[in-house]
Amino acid sequence: MSTEFKLYNVKKEELFNQKKRKEREILLEEMVLYALENGNKPAARYFNTYPSTVRRWVKIYNEKGKEGLKYK
């Protein structure tokens, strides 16, 4: 059984790509830490994104640490 994830009621200014660089880094770190404690699907629901996005950032965090979440 698969669960379809949809993004609901998201205002344009709340979208990740509309945020400033520092805000993005903080948000990514919060999302990864939340996912490590609660799992990828709950983190995706909480941060209104897809589980695959959460998995990708958790993988980067596990490989490179906090520095991997920073934009270069």
Domain boundaries along the sequence of the chain = 18-69
The whole-number pLDDT of residue 35 equals 95
Amino acid in the structure at residue 70: K
The dihedral sign for the CA sequence 30, 24, 15, 57: negative
Model pLDDT for residues 9-49, shown as the tens digit of each residue = 655 555 555 567 778 888 899 999 999 999 999 998 888 88
C-alpha angle 56-62-50 in degrees, rounded to nearest 5 = 20
The whole-number pLDDT of residue 1 equals 52
Alpha helices in the chain (DSSP H): 21-38, 40-46, 51-64
The whole-number pLDDT of residue 55 equals 94
The pTM assigned to this predicted structure is 0.74
